A and B are shown apart, each in its own frame.
Chain A
Amino acid sequence: MGEPTIRWQEMVQPGAAWSHVLKRGTALRITDVEGGANVGAIFYNFECPAERYNIDTLKAQHVALLSKGCVLYSDMGRILCSIVEDTAGGHDPIAGCSNAALVKQKYGESRYQDSRNDYYKNARDSFLIELEKWGLGPRDLVPNVNFFSRLHVDGDGNIAYQPACSTPGSFVELRAEMNVLTILNTCQHPLDPSPKYQPKPVHLSICNVPPPGQDDVCRTFRPENGRGFTLTERYFL
């Protein structure tokens, strides 16, 4: 078979936003080119955006960290996309996104007038602007995933950002299990302790991929996922 053909590839600049309807039967690979990137992401069923990424993802798979084999569940018990490859070793689904107040407090102010396209962006405004373009709004903003970032959790529930989780060239690959409105941005993780505003770029590529077989790594990750794939496949019957 060999490597699947890349249909489309592009760079997402530091601090920038990106959105696309990822088609069922394709996979999106996100590569942390320089190391230390963060990609905030939210997901919707494009046909019916009231169906969207849900925190059920964690309890359904008994995880508080997303990695290869995990799937991203919607609120309807269906799978939006599956993590079929992950060389970064896990991704944060808990700490949420930066906002304007947090960015100003951490990094100060840098506006377009002075900085042109390097002005300081924050993840929340970025999500909201991108949502609005698809006819969605603040009521549609859901908890986000932070790819390439991880938290340490201690026995008392205290969380701490783990620096330098992702090395240059690390990638995660998301296979779309339905047509998924995918909204990303490369803003820094909200708990990134660095006092410097220094978001990193990522590389995106989209390939056609075969449907998940019975021995698929995500289908067999948990018994719950087997049922999740069944419910998703029924959606297309």
Chain B
Amino acid sequence: MSGINIVASKLDAEEATYRCVVPAGEPWIREIRKGQYFRIVDLKGNQAADTLFYNAHDYSDRYSAQDTIREQKNLYLTTGTRLMSTAGNVLLTIVADTCGRHDTLGGACAAESNMVRYALEKRHMHACRQSFVKAVMEWGRGMSKQDVTSNINFFMNVPVTPEGKLTFEDGVSEPGKYVEMRAEMNVLAVISNCPQLNNPCNAYNPTPIEVLIWERQTL
């Protein structure tokens, strides 16, 4: 797998059985059943959608950035990427992607890491980890901060150079670009629509995303 891999979906948004617009700075949490298709749309462009997945039957088995990267021997997520869990299960497969590249090394922004990265006075600013913690607390079922682990940053561009440097670049996404996944098992999905204002990951203007779900398809 290499380079930018643009693959459009055959699915019609009108036929989705679930649609929800998630405003910037808010979390979204829902179970996705095996066989369902799950799309995230960057409605206005250059908006990071920080995302966690869990095995719906065992939340201790969850999305693993390291296992996903190692299995495909590539740092970036795109069509064909199998999203791996810590126990070695395939949670979902990316089946369409009009953006072409998504990050999973950058992690989620947090009040505390903003203090390190930008200035000690940034603690008050809203951050993805606030949304993730709120979402899993309200979901309950024993979930806590321990379950907020390494995440995917859909629509975010964090290139690594051959010299081992990691940089945050302007997004490669544009209005209407999307990523679509097929659930390979029952999963719990948690999104934080990123409120970061300190770097270009949201083009300094966080905007809404849309989430769509289709029933099992014969494509």
Q: How far is the CA of A80 from the CA of B15 in the complex (A)?
A: 50
Known A50-B146, A138-B86, A159-B69: A63·B115 in contact at CB below 8 Å: no
- The answer, among A137, A152, A159, for a CB contact under 8 Å with B74, is A159
Verify B116–A224 contact, CB threshold 8 A: yes
A153 at the interface (CB under 8 A from B): yes
Known A55-B65, A77-B112: A152·B75 in contact at CB below 8 Å: no
List residues of chain B with CB within 8 A of the CB of A10.
none
A7 at the interface (CB under 8 A from B): no
Q: Which of B3, B61, B117, B144 has the most CB of A within 10 A?
A: B117
CB distance from B1 to the nearest CB of A (A): 8
Q: Which residues of A contact B (CB under 8 A)?
A: 50, 54-56, 58-60, 62-65, 73, 75-78, 90, 94-97, 99, 101, 124, 137-144, 152-160, 190-191, 224, 227-228, 230-231
CB distance from B56 to the nearest CB of A (A): 15
Chain A residue at minimal CB-CB distance from B111: A77
CB distance from A82 to the nearest CB of B (A): 14
List residues of chain B with CB within 8 A of the CB of A99.
88
Verify A231–B116 contact, CB threshold 8 A: yes
Verify B73–A158 contact, CB threshold 8 A: yes
Verify B3–A59 contact, CB threshold 8 A: no
List residues of chain B with CB within 8 A of the CB of A141.
86
B216 at the interface (CB under 8 A from A): no
Q: How far is the CA of A90 from the CA of B163 in the complex (A)?
A: 11
- The answer, among A59, A76, A97, A152, for a CB contact under 8 Å with B112, is A76
User: What's the interface size class on B, roughly?
Assistant: 35 or more
List residues of chain B with CB within 8 A of the CB of A155.
162
- The answer, among B2, B3, B70, B116, for a CB contact under 8 Å with A190, is B70
Verify A73–B74 contact, CB threshold 8 A: no
Report the number of A-B residue pairs with Cβ-Cβ less than 8 Å: 137
B67 at the interface (CB under 8 A from A): yes
- The answer, among B1, B64, B110, B167, for a CB contact under 8 Å with A56, is B110
Describe A's contact surface by its main secondary structure.
Answer: loop
List residues of chain A with CB within 8 A of the CB of B117.
59-60, 224
Verify A159–B75 contact, CB threshold 8 A: yes
Known A138-B60, A159-B73, A231-B112: A101·B88 in contact at CB below 8 Å: yes
Q: Can you name 9 A-B residue pairings with CB atoms under 8 Å?
A: A59-B113, A63-B164, A64-B161, A140-B146, A142-B149, A153-B75, A155-B162, A157-B76, A231-B116
Verify A157–B64 contact, CB threshold 8 A: no
Verify B164–A139 contact, CB threshold 8 A: no
List residues of chain A with CB within 8 A of the CB of B150.
55, 142-143
List residues of chain B with CB within 8 A of the CB of A159.
69-70, 73-75
Q: How far is the CA of A158 from the CA of B75 in the complex (A)?
A: 6
B6 at the interface (CB under 8 A from A): no
- The answer, among B67, B74, B106, for a CB contact under 8 Å with A59, is B106
Verify A64–B105 contact, CB threshold 8 A: yes
- The answer, among A153, A160, A231, for a CB contact under 8 Å with B160, is A153
Instruction: Write out, one digit per residue, whether chain B residues 149-169 have a CB within 8 A of any chain A CB (1) or not (0).
Output: 110000000111110111110
B145 at the interface (CB under 8 A from A): yes
CB distance from B33 to the nearest CB of A (A): 23
CB distance from B21 to the nearest CB of A (A): 28
Verify B116–A73 contact, CB threshold 8 A: yes
- The answer, among A50, A78, A94, for a CB contact under 8 Å with B75, is A94
Known A56-B110, A138-B86: A96·B162 in contact at CB below 8 Å: no
Known A50-B146, A159-B75, A227-B120: A59·B2 in contact at CB below 8 Å: no
Q: How far is the CA of A55 from the CA of B66 in the complex (A)?
A: 10
Known A55-B105, A160-B73: A137·B115 in contact at CB below 8 Å: no
Verify B105–A227 contact, CB threshold 8 A: no
B107 at the interface (CB under 8 A from A): yes
Verify A154–B162 contact, CB threshold 8 A: yes
- The answer, among B2, B59, B66, B113, for a CB contact under 8 Å with A158, is B2
CB distance from A112 to the nearest CB of B (A): 22
CB distance from A89 to the nearest CB of B (A): 10
